[in-house]
């Protein structure tokens, strides 16, 4: 049975500007046309100016003569010149970005400073921000007010998403009745701040040259925290977001956001861009979205037909002061290799066509003779073969999977699979399990799975079966060798997690050809899957057929049933090595 995480509930009284969670069919641009798109939990939870700054009526500081209009922007003299939103919630920290000190802001608190402002001037406010916890909302903002502390203009708030110091910035212009500008930083779960600056925008340093590459940080999700969170990606909404070192998995109405750093914002200035991710799995509604200046600018739905494809969302050219990208799923979604590329970032100029040969003036109507073309050699269509050894290294153990681990007899059934082409598919997430996969997942017996493979061989869609050994006591290891060809480049494998109701490990439709050549080595982490055919929820549950059967999905167990949450932690790996 599929047991999904229950989403973490946030106080709805704190949330503003969140719209409903229904789907959007295609890329759309402009907030007016996106009334029902899924919005992530990155909206500012409270109005810092109205709730904290305006009621306090703090005496505004005169601007400094230096480029930085803030006083003590580096916090080297603690919180002097800065106000906290709540007593004893802002303190000095030695974990500084630069210099000796930073300021630590506790959860649901903020700090601010109010400075005299000049109507008509454009201001840029920036801070280096480091999140204490990768949850909820942390950001900076800037509000212009008149002499009565009534807000007259607000710059878009900039969102922080990294556990490392990252500079974020927002830009705004003082209106005609502006007297003061209040700058602030607010955090739902705590953060560190350092090197805050408020400058006239004209005094900002020249931006770095636009990047010609990916504007996202940790775009392949290879960098992870100890709690299986992706570095520089902020989990939100349902908070069921897990990184496995090569992909990002989202479930139960969750989202993952990444704020765009200053260099990325500079690169997007007056340039269209494309945000895209490779889709490995999807079940239910999911989408990719881009927010610029706190406005949902573009979004693209992800559908099951996108599995194995790259989904892109096009973003129109603008001049944003801040922004972020977000990935959302109300069901199950796994993405890999995301990117944000500014249009024109990599321009390939086609070589100029050669000038036509001059005509012989003595014979103007007679073209130059053309040499006969060399005969073309016939193309060799003989299939190219390679031989591989695949090693299944099991790491399933009580130390890694401690919840109700079956320490008496943890084992895996024989590793079984096929070498095939794309006309054959033996199992895939969201698809109903075949009888062969059902029997493997429930009993470990591969005979019916092998019969399905032999049927595909007879139909010309598979080349051979792979029959390896099992692992009688996990952790352990087993290997098997097989041949593969360019005509049949895909590999599917499966092995039962035993004992279990219908849980298994494996890979499906895995290509061993990359850029037209056989790969030398490839390591694939093995995540746990639920075949959707048995409703047992623990390793030793009694047989209870699921009627009707559900599609194959990542194993999402309750924390009391097993350690597997969204199929993680991985229970092993497959290592493919080319030996011929």
Residue 120 counted as domain residue: yes
Predicted confidence at residue 258, as pLDDT, reads 83
Predicted confidence at residue 291, as pLDDT, reads 86
Q: How far is CA 470 from the centre of its chain?
A: 34
Predicted confidence at residue 137, as pLDDT, reads 81
* Residues contacting 294, CB < 8 A, separation 6+: 43, 44, 156, 157, 322
Predicted confidence at residue 383, as pLDDT, reads 63
Domain count, the chain: 3
Residue 1 counted as domain residue: no
Confidence band for 230, pLDDT divided at 50, 70 and 90: confident
Of 153, 171, 203, which residue is a domain's last?
203
Confidence band for 200, pLDDT divided at 50, 70 and 90: confident
**16-25, 226-235, 395-404, 498-507: which has the minimum mean pLDDT?**
16-25
Mean pLDDT value across the chain: 81
Please provide residue 247's backbone torsions phi and psi, each rounded to the nearest 5 degrees.
-150, 170
**Same domain (yes/no): 528, 476:** yes
- The residue with tokens 């009688």 is 472
Q: At what angle do helices 435-443 and 447-458 cross, to 10 degrees?
A: 150
User: d(Cα 24, Cα 287) in Å, to the nearest integer?
Assistant: 8
Predicted confidence at residue 168, as pLDDT, reads 81
Query: What is the mean predicted confidence (pLDDT) over 321-338?
Result: 88
The three-class DSSP label of residue 262 is helix
**Same domain (yes/no): 146, 222:** no
Contact 265, 170 (CB under 8 A): no
**First-to-last C-alpha distance (Å) of the chain:** 42
Residue, of 211 and 352, whose pLDDT is higher: 211
Burial 74-109 (b: 16+ CB within 10 A, else e): bbeeebeebbbbeeebbeebeebbeeebbbbbbebb
Residue 204 has pLDDT above 60, yes or no: no
Residue 373 counted as domain residue: no
**12-26, 428-442, 537-551: which has the minimum mean pLDDT?**
12-26
Of 203, 221, 253, which residue is a domain's last?
203
Please tell me what DSSP assigns to residue 149: -
Predicted confidence at residue 35, as pLDDT, reads 30
Residue 370 counted as domain residue: no
Confidence band for 209, pLDDT divided at 50, 70 and 90: very low
User: d(Cα 499, Cα 408) in Å, to the nearest integer?
Assistant: 10
149-195 pLDDT, tens digit each:
899 998 878 888 777 787 888 888 899 999 999 999 999 889 999 99
- CATH (domain of 414): 2.60.40.2130
Query: What is the mean predicted confidence (pLDDT) over 188-210?
Result: 72
* Residues contacting 160, CB < 8 A, separation 6+: 129, 130, 131, 138, 139, 140, 166, 168, 191, 234, 259
**Same domain (yes/no): 503, 536:** yes
Query: What is the mean predicted confidence (pLDDT) over 106-133?
Result: 90
Residue, of 225 and 75, whose pLDDT is higher: 75
Q: What percentage of the chain carries pLDDT values higher than 90?
A: 45
Query: What is the mean predicted confidence (pLDDT) over 59-70?
Result: 81
Residue, of 73 and 201, whose pLDDT is higher: 73
Residue, of 170 and 83, whose pLDDT is higher: 83
Confidence band for 451, pLDDT divided at 50, 70 and 90: very high
User: d(Cα 27, Cα 4) in Å, to the nearest integer?
Assistant: 29
Query: What is the mean predicted confidence (pLDDT) over 315-342?
Result: 88
**Same domain (yes/no): 93, 118:** yes
Residue 50 counted as domain residue: no
**Same domain (yes/no): 214, 197:** no
Predicted confidence at residue 27, as pLDDT, reads 41
Predicted confidence at residue 225, as pLDDT, reads 67
Please provide residue 307's backbone torsions phi and psi, each rounded to the nearest 5 degrees.
-60, 130
Predicted confidence at residue 483, as pLDDT, reads 95
User: d(Cα 105, Cα 414) in Å, to the nearest integer?
Assistant: 54
Confidence band for 226, pLDDT divided at 50, 70 and 90: low
**Same domain (yes/no): 240, 315:** yes
Predicted confidence at residue 39, as pLDDT, reads 45
Residue, of 354 and 514, whose pLDDT is higher: 514
Predicted confidence at residue 206, as pLDDT, reads 41
Residue 472 has pLDDT above 50, yes or no: yes
**Same domain (yes/no): 162, 252:** no
**Same domain (yes/no): 540, 409:** yes
Query: What is the mean predicted confidence (pLDDT) over 113-117?
Result: 93
Predicted confidence at residue 396, as pLDDT, reads 95
* Residues contacting 481, CB < 8 A, separation 6+: 387, 388, 389, 390, 579
**99-103, 129-133, 293-297, 345-349: which has the minimum mean pLDDT?**
345-349
Pairing assessment for the beta strands 138-145 and 180-187 based on DSSP bridges: antiparallel
- CATH (domain of 265): 2.60.120.260
* Residues contacting 415, CB < 8 A, separation 6+: 390, 392, 466, 467, 468, 469, 470, 478, 480, 493, 494, 495
Residue 16 has pLDDT above 50, yes or no: no
Predicted confidence at residue 262, as pLDDT, reads 66
Residue 78 counted as domain residue: yes
Residue 242 has pLDDT above 60, yes or no: yes
Residue 197 has pLDDT above 80, yes or no: yes
**Same domain (yes/no): 179, 136:** yes
Predicted confidence at residue 238, as pLDDT, reads 63
**Same domain (yes/no): 545, 422:** yes
**19-23, 137-141, 185-189: which has the minimum mean pLDDT?**
19-23
Contact 229, 235 (CB under 8 A): yes
Predicted confidence at residue 366, as pLDDT, reads 40
User: d(Cα 160, Cα 162) in Å, to the nearest integer?
Assistant: 6
Residue 111 counted as domain residue: yes
Which helix H or strand E contains 452, and what residues bound it?
Answer: helix 447-458
Residue, of 566 and 196, whose pLDDT is higher: 196
Of 203, 232, 255, which residue is a domain's last?
203
- What pTM value is reported for the model? 0.49
Predicted confidence at residue 424, as pLDDT, reads 93
User: d(Cα 185, Cα 48) in Å, to the nearest integer?
Assistant: 9
Residue 449 has pLDDT above 70, yes or no: yes
Q: Write out the residue range of the structural domain in which residue 295 sits.
A: 19-38+209-342
**231-240, 406-415, 550-559: which has the minimum mean pLDDT?**
231-240
346-401 pLDDT, tens digit each:
433 333 333 333 334 333 444 444 455 455 455 444 568 999 999 999 999 999 99
Query: What is the mean predicted confidence (pLDDT) over 460-477?
Result: 95
**Torsion over CA of 111, 113, 118 and 124, rounded to 10 degrees?**
-50
User: d(Cα 251, Cα 2) in Å, to the nearest integer?
Assistant: 12
Confidence band for 538, pLDDT divided at 50, 70 and 90: very high
Neighbours of 572 (CB within 10 A): 27
Residues β-bridged to residue 329: 254, 286
Q: How far is CA 273 from CA 220, 281, 293, 321, 568, in A?
A: 19, 25, 15, 15, 34
Confidence band for 243, pLDDT divided at 50, 70 and 90: confident
Residue 202 has pLDDT above 80, yes or no: no
Residue 275 has pLDDT above 50, yes or no: yes
Residue 226 counted as domain residue: yes
Query: What is the mean predicted confidence (pLDDT) over 3-18?
Result: 27
**Same domain (yes/no): 198, 214:** no
**Same domain (yes/no): 172, 275:** no
């Amino acid at each position: 049975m599929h047991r999904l995480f229950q989403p973490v509930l946030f106080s709805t009284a704190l949330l503003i500007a969140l719209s409903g969670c229904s789907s959007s069919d295609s890329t759309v641009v402009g907030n007016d046309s996106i009334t029902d798109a899924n919005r992530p939990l990155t909206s500012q939870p409270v109005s810092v100016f109205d709730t904290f700054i305006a009621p306090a009526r703090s005496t505004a500081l005169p601007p400094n003569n230096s480029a930085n209009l803030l006083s003590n922007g580096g916090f080297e003299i603690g919180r002097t010149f800065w106000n906290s939103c709540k007593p004893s919630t802002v303190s000095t920290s030695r974990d500084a970005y630069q210099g000796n000190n930073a300021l630590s802001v506790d959860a649901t608190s903020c700090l601010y400073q109010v400075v005299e402002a000049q109507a008509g001037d454009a201001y840029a406010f920036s801070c280096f921000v480091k999140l204490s916890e990768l949850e909820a909302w942390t950001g900076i903002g800037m509000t212009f007010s008149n002499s009565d502390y009534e807000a007259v203009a607000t710059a878009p708030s900039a969102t922080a998403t990294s556990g490392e110091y990252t500079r974020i910035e927002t830009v705004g212009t003082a209106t005609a009745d502006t007297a003061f500008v209040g700058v602030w930083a607010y955090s739902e779960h705590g953060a560190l701040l350092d090197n805050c600056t408020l400058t006239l925008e004209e005094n900002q340093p020249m931006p770095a040259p636009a990047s010609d590459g990916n504007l996202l940080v940790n775009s392949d999700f290879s960098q992870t925290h100890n709690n299986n969170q992706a570095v520089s990606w902020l989990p939100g909404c349902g908070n069921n977001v897990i990184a496995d070192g090569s992909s990002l998995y989202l479930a139960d109405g969750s989202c993952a956001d990444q704020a765009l750093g200053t260099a990325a914002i500079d690169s997007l200035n007056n340039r269209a861009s494309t945000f895209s991710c490779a889709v490995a799995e999807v079940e239910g509604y999911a989408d990719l979205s881009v927010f610029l200046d706190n406005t949902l600018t573009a979004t693209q739905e992800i559908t099951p037909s996108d599995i194995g494809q790259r989904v892109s969302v096009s973003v129109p050219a603008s001049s944003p002061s801040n922004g972020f990208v977000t990935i959302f799923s109300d069901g199950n979604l796994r993405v890999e290799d995301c990117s944000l590329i500014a249009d024109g970032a990599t321009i390939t100029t086609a070589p100029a066509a050669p000038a036509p040969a001059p005509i012989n003036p003595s014979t103007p109507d007679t073209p130059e003779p053309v040499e006969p073309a060399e005969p073309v050699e016939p193309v060799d269509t003989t299939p190219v073969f390679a031989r591989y050894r695949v090693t299944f290294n099991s790491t399933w153990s009580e130390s890694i999977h401690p919840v109700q681990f079956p320490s008496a007899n943890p084992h895996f059934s024989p590793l079984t699979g096929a070498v095939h082409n794309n006309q054959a598919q033996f199992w895939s997430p969201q698809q109903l399990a075949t009888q062969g996969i059902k029997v493997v997942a429930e009993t470990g017996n591969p005979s019916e799975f092998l019969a399905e493979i032999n049927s595909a061989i007879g139909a010309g869609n598979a080349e051979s079966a792979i029959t390896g050994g099992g692992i009688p006591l996990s952790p352990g290891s087993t290997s098997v060798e097989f041949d593969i060809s360019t005509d049949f480049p895909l590999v599917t494998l499966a092995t039962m997690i035993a004992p279990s109701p219908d849980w298994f490990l494996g890979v499906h439709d895995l290509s061993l050809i990359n850029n037209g050549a056989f790969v030398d080595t490839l390591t694939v982490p093995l995540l746990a899957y639920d075949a959707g055919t048995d409703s047992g929820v623990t390793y030793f549950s009694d047989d209870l057929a699921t009627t009707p059967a559900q599609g194959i999905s990542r194993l999402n167990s309750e924390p009391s049933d097993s350690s597997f949450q969204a199929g993680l932690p991985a229970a092993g790996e497959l290592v493919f090595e080319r030996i011929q």
